[in-house]
Amino acid sequence: MDPKALAALGELLGDRLRTSLETRICYSYDATGKRFLPDAVAHPVDAEEVRRIVLLANQHRFPVVPRGAGSGFSGGSLPVHGGVVLSTERMDRIVAIDTENLYAVVEPGVVTETLKEEARRRGLFYPPDPASLKFSTIGGNIAECSGGMCAVKYGVTRDYVLGLEAVLGTGELVRTGVATVKGVVGYDLTRMLVGSEGTLGIVTRATLRLVPLPETAATMLALFSGNREAARAVNAVVAARVTPSAMELMDRTAIDCVLAVVPIPLPEGTGSALLLEVDGPAPSVARDAERLAEVCRSCGAIEVRVASDARGREELWKMRRSISPGLRRLAPVKMNEDIVVPRSRLADMFDFLAGLSARKRVRIVNFGHAGDGNIHVNVMTSGTDADETRRAEEAVEEVFRKTVEVGGTISGEHGIGIAKAPFLEMEVGPLGVSVMKRLKECFDPNGILNPGKIFLSEAAVRP
Ligand SMILES: Cc1cc2nc3c(=O)[nH]c(=O)nc-3n(C[C@H](O)[C@H](O)[C@H](O)COP(=O)(O)OP(=O)(O)OC[C@H]3O[C@@H](n4cnc5c(N)ncnc54)[C@H](O)[C@@H]3O)c2cc1C
C-alpha cells in the first residue's frame, strides 16, 4: 500500500490504525481457515470515520474490507487483495431499544447474543440465531443475511432489518428503509444491502425489528431408522400445519460425531434424528408438541423424547450442539456447504449424497435446518492427501449441480465470498451475474469495497 495512504490513515485514526505484523496476522483469517494478510487494520469508532477511510481509499486506491468477528464460512472478510481491514469492533453500541414501536437501533459491531439478551430483558425477541451468535456481529449477520435454527418459523436476518445507515463505496453516507412497520418509498435499498457481503456498503447502523418474546417452549427428539424416514416426517409436520420454531436433522454420521463427544443412549437401529421445538403460549405449546410427536410416530419414529422443562430441553439440545466439536475429531479439514433444496426433495438429496460419498470415496456428514430444506453438507478430508482433496472438490461441485437441478440454492446462509464464487453463475446465469456487476458499479464505481468477493474475476481496486 502507498505509504502516503498509510500516513493519511494514521493521521485520521492515530493508534486505532494498526500495522504491526502480529495485528495483521490476527485479522488475516476467518472460519474458512484461509489466510490473506492486510496491509493495515483500522478501528473506526463512528460512521464519520468510516466515511473518511473510504474517501481516502478512493483517493489512494486501496481496498477496504469490512470485518465483524471474522466467523464467516465463505471468506467474506478476507483481504484477498490486501489493503485495509476495517474492523467494527469499536462500533458496538446498542443505541436504543424502542419498546413501544418494537425495534432496536444498533451499531454493526454489536454481538448478536448481546442484542438478543437486551431484548429478552424487556420481554422482546430478536429471532435471528446463527449458531455463532455468541461472537458473530450484527454487521456480519446483515452482510451475510445469516439464518439459524429458528428460521423455519421466524425467518432470517433479512426479515428483521427495517432500515440501515451505510457508507457506500463512494464514501457517501446513505440512510435506507424505515423505523415503522410498513414503508414502500422507492427502491428497497435496505434489501439490496442485506446479504451483499460488504461489497456495496459498510453498515454503520441498523434498525432492527423486534417481536414479543414467546411465553414458553418444548423440545422433542425423534429418532428414525434413516434419513428418508426423517425427511418424510419433516414434510408431514409441515402438512400438519404446525410450525415448529426449530426442525434440525442429523444423519447417522453426524450422530456418531455427537456420540464421540457426549454419550447419549440411543435405541438400536437409529439412523437419523430430528430435533424439533415449538414455542408460544403454554396451552398451544403443549398441544403442538403432542401433535408433532404423533406425526413423527406415524412416519415411523423409533422413539420420541419430549422435554418441557429447561434442563430436559438443554439435554436434548446438547446433541445438536455437539456435532461441530465431534466433526473436528472425525477429520481435520471440512468443506462446509450450506445448500437449500425444496423440502419435498430432501429425501432424494440425502440419497444422492449417500451415493456421492460412496462414488467419490469421501466421508460426507449431513445435518442442518431441515425445516428450511437447508442441509449443511460437510465433506471431510485429512488435508494431507492431494487425491482425496481433488475427489472432495469434485464432490462439492456435484452437490451444487444437483442442488440447482432440483430447484434449490447453493447457499442458504453463508454467502458466496471467495468459497463459492466459481459457482455463482451456475445458479444465477450470465445475465444474473452481469446485472449484479452493474449494480456493484453503481454503489462502488472504483471497486474499493471488498474486491475479489462474490465475482470470480473481480480484480483489485480500479486504478
Ligand atoms: C461455529 C460457527 C457457527 C456458525 N453458525 C452459523 C449459522 O448457524 N448460521 C449462519 O448463517 N452462519 C453461521 N456461521 C457463519 C458466520 O458466523 C455468519 O456468517 C456471521 O454472520 C458472520 O458474522 P461476523 O461478524 O463474524 O462477520 P465476518 O465474518 O467478519 O464478515 C462476514 C461478511 O460480512 C461483511 N461485513 C462485516 N461487517 C460488515 C459491515 N458492518 N458492513 C458491511 N459488511 C460487513 C464482511 O466483509 C464479510 O463479507 C457460523 C460460523 C461459525 C464459526
- Sheet harboring 161-168: ordered strands across? 94-98, 103-106, 201-209, 161-168, 173-177
Decide: 63 in ligand 1 pocket, CB within 6 A.
no
207: number of Cβ within 10 Å: 25
Give the whole-angstrom CA distance, residue 180 versus residue 132.
Answer: 29
Cα 283 to ligand 1 centroid, rounded to whole Å: 37
pLDDT digits (tens, 9 = 90+) for 60-116: 999 999 999 999 999 999 999 999 999 999 999 999 999 999 999 999 999 999 999
The pLDDT assigned to 463 comes to 64
Confidence of residue 456 (pLDDT cuts 50, 70, 90): confident
Ligand 1 pocket, 76 CB below 6 A? yes
For ligand 1, the distance from its centroid to the CA atom of residue 418, given in whole angstroms, is 14
- How many A from CA of 439 to the centre of ligand 1? 22
- Report pLDDT for 16: 98
pLDDT higher than threshold 80 for residue 240: yes
Please give the mean pLDDT across all residues of the chain: 96
At 461 the pLDDT is: 67
pLDDT at 317 over 70: yes
Name the pTM for this structure: 0.96
Cα(135) to centroid(ligand 1), Å: 9
Residue nearest to atom 9 of ligand 1 (CA): 130
Q: Which of 29, 35, 114, 136 to mutate to test the pocket of ligand 1 (most atoms within 8 A of CB)?
A: 136
Q: Which residue has the cell 446483515?
A: 142
Q: What is the mean pLDDT of residues 364-389?
A: 96
Q: What is the pLDDT of residues 170-208, one digit of tens each?
A: 999 999 999 999 999 999 999 999 999 999 999 999 999
pLDDT for residue 311: 93
244, 277 Cβ separation under 8 angstroms: yes
382 band by pLDDT with thresholds 50, 70 and 90: very high
Q: Which residues of 317-345 are buried (b: 16+ CB within 10 A; e: fewer)?
A: bebbebbbebbeebbeebbbbbbbbebeb
Q: What is the pLDDT of residue 324?
A: 86
CB neighbour burial string for 361-378, b if at least 16 within 10 angstroms, e if fewer: ebbbbbbbbbbbbbbbbb
Write down the pLDDT at residue 460. Answer: 63
Can you give the pLDDT at residue 459? 60
pLDDT at 329: 87
224 in contact with ligand 1, CB cutoff 6 A: no
Strand 333-340 vs strand 211-212: parallel, antiparallel, or unpaired? unpaired
Query: Mind listing the pLDDT tens digit for each residue in 320-340?
Result: 889 988 898 889 999 999 999
Pocket perturbation via mutation, ligand 1, pick of 41, 77, 111 by most ligand atoms within 8 A of CB: 77
- Ligand 1 pocket member 44 (CB < 6 A): no
- What is the whole-number distance in angstroms between the Cα of residue 157 and the centre of ligand 1? 11
**pLDDT confidence bin for 458, thresholds 50/70/90:** low
Torsion of CA 379, 424, 65, 378, to 10 degrees: -10
Share of the chain above pLDDT 70, in %: 98
Using the mean position of ligand 1's atoms as its centre, give its distance from the Cα of residue 229 in Å: 33
The model's pLDDT over 136-167, given as tens digits with 9 standing for 90+, comes to 999 999 999 999 999 999 999 999 999 999 99
Sketch out the chain's domains with CATH numbers.
3-89 (3.30.43.10), 97-212 (3.30.465.10), 216-324 (3.30.70.2190), 331-405 (3.30.70.2740)
pLDDT exceeding 90 applies to what percent of the chain? Answer: 94
Give the 3-state secondary structure of the chain: CCHHHHHHHHHHHHHHEECCHHHHHHCCECCCCCECCCCEEECCCCHHHHHHHHHHHHHHCCCEEEECCCCCCCCCCCCCCCCEEEECCCCCCEEEEECCCCEEEECCCCEHHHHHHHHHHCCEECCCCCCCCCCCEHHHHHHHCCCCCCHHHHCCHHHHEEEEEEEECCCCEEEEECCCCCCCCCCCHHHHHCCCCCCCEEEEEEEEECEECCCEEEEEEEEECCHHHHHHHHHHHHHCCCCCCEEEEEEHHHHHHHHHHCCCCCCCCCCEEEEEEEEECHHHHHHHHHHHHHHHHHCCCCEEEEECCHHHHHHHHHHHHCHHHHHHHHCCEEEEEEEECCHHHHHHHHHHHHHHHHHHCCEEEEEEEHHHCEEEEEEEECCCCHHHHHHHHHHHHHHHHHHHHCCCECECCCCCCCCCHHHHHHHHHHHHHHHHHHHHHHHCCCCCECCCCCCCCCCCCCC
